[in-house]
Structure 1
């Protein structure tokens, strides 16, 4: 009984922490505060530079945790809300996209890319993409909307390409004595079903989808990177990853530097000598630093809290095209 009581105390404290650090807590015991606030994390002056993190799996679906009580908005919703707010603030003179992501869904990455471009075209405000440790696949895709890209010396980037994850479980089913008895309205309705072997015509159908989305990715990269080494395009776009120095050599990024270099570049592109670096946040607890990440990736670390279960919902569940580098 003591262990059960401790578990529920831990859960209650975790929910309180989630509410204070920016998660949206939906509960029968009350509403939630979803207002978007602004805080200055460093600098001074009238001009502002918005620091906008894009972290973890890029998706247009909200993530849910803690028996559905805790919901965080999707990457797309977060970026869109931030740019909507920034669009109304004439003091915002530059935006820094701090990208630390392996990528995500094709649709979310493309929509974020389009939203960033629309913001820049509407306001004329320069956008700087700052790469963290990982800016791969869809993370690199959205950076194509930026005016300038600066990677840190230890960034891993690239992975330009598309993947649709699938599995064939027919061997396992045979061992278990199971048979597929699905009923479909057409011969391709159960395409990519794990319950049977894919036919050659179906493989061709899926490959055409992948090739189409891949073509979109390559065209976005070519449009966004005029300094790209075109004679190395096949190498750059074959899905491999690159270290920062190779990315610079190939024209995939404009500069290598650290956060101070990013902020100096943002001030230069904004045409100001000094500016306040601001961040937007939800909830009552404002981020104290540039790199503070409340509930990174939208999750709650129950294992760290001593609760040996995973209550998160995977936004990437189900077969779908992904701009994603995920070795595991």
Structure 2
């Protein structure tokens, strides 16, 4: 019944929710990008008297660049403000989602969460035989022999595939180095750890991919007491911008982008049976 100013100081933990495919979104399906989460992260770490910052992660991955940018921003803010970070995995923290989780000082997962998938994947379709059956001529003109590499309307070339695999290996090595740097001696050395395999949260605990099993509320109450305030940090976005993706009234274009983004995101989630 007392006014808040008379209740005494309560421990505060800002909570930032990081959900969705990384770098793959649409007007009605926001994606995780550096631009979309920067304001929320800045606000969370600037919360007066914050005991630590909690990240609630539910992501199948996506763009490795955007995942790494978010990772770097979290670490920079944590070091600048000298405040700890805890990550809480909901359904999924896989691939780029797990990279973001590695920015935390502690990773907590539900026993049934899906965790891991430390690898790199590229996918697409080949339409060259389809257009041949339809009697369609592919007319492609380039300046530079590699400008049209992996063109989906041309037959696949072994050299193009090998070039792609070289890029994947490089990104994969960077991902592995990041995980080893952040998880250190906690990692079990399991032979499948960096093969793109994934596990439940309970199994991931034994592999050193997470630090404990549990949930946000119970963990924060255990750490800071029953009076802890879990303060949700949410971005402010206008209704028009959510509908159009730009805020300029282009509803039709926004809905078309949303359909494509939904298919891409759905393929990522389904890879993990979700």
- Contact kept? 1:49, 1:96, Cα under 8 Å: yes
Question: Which one of the candidate residues 64, 78, 82 is aligned to 2:27?
Answer: 64
* 1:3-25: CA deviation from partner (whole Å, max 9, x where unpaired): xxxxxxxxxxxxxxxxxxxxxxx
Partner of 1:250: 207
Greater CA deviation, 162-171 or 272-281? 272-281
**Is 1:261 aligned with 2:218?**
yes
Q: Aligned to 1:103, what secondary structure does the other structure show? A: coil
CA–CA distance in structure 2, aligned partners of residues 134 and 49 of structure 1: 22
What are the equivalent positions in structure 2 for 1:264-283 lying under 5 Å apart? 264=221, 267=224, 274-282=227-235
* 1:148-198: CA deviation from partner (whole Å, max 9, x where unpaired): 011011101111111122221111112111232100111110111101122
Question: Which one of the candidate residues 76, 84, 87 is aligned to 2:34?
Answer: 76
Q: Offset of 1:221 from its aligned partner?
A: 0.8
User: TM-score, length-normalised on structure 1?
Assistant: 0.68
Q: Offset of 1:252 from its aligned partner?
A: 0.5
Question: Which one of the candidate residues 95, 105, 123 is aligned to 1:137?
Answer: 95
Q: Which has the higher contact order (CA 8 A, sep 6+)?
A: 1
Evaluate the alpha carbon distance shift between residue 279 and residue 159 of structure 1 in structure 2; reply closer, same or farther with a 3 A threshold: same
Partner of 1:235: 192
CA–CA distance in structure 2, aligned partners of residues 120 and 221 of structure 1: 18
Partner of 2:134: 176
Q: Offset of 1:260 from its aligned partner?
A: 3.0
- Cα RMSD of the aligned pairs, angstroms, is 3.2
CA–CA distance in structure 1, aligned partners of residues 223 and 64 of structure 2: 28
User: Per residue, is there more helix in 1 or in 2?
Assistant: 2
CA–CA distance in structure 1, aligned partners of residues 174 and 202 of structure 2: 26
- Contact kept? 1:94, 1:266, Cα under 8 Å: no
Unaligned ranges ≥5, structure 1: 1-39, 66-70, 285-297, 301-309
CA–CA distance in structure 2, aligned partners of residues 158 and 122 of structure 1: 28
Evaluate the alpha carbon distance shift between residue 187 and residue 75 of structure 1 in structure 2; reply closer, same or farther with a 3 A threshold: closer
Partner of 2:16: 52
* 1:186-239: CA deviation from partner (whole Å, max 9, x where unpaired): 11101111011222221121111111111111111111112343531x401111
User: Per residue, is there more strand in 1 or in 2?
Assistant: 1
Q: Aligned to 2:156, what secondary structure does the other structure show? A: coil
CA–CA distance in structure 1, aligned partners of residues 187 and 202 of structure 2: 14
- Contact kept? 2:20, 2:31, Cα under 8 Å: no
CA–CA distance in structure 2, aligned partners of residues 206 and 144 of structure 1: 26
Q: Offset of 1:48 from its aligned partner?
A: 1.5
CA–CA distance in structure 2, aligned partners of residues 73 and 135 of structure 1: 15
- Contact kept? 2:20, 2:32, Cα under 8 Å: no
Unaligned ranges ≥5, structure 2: 245-253
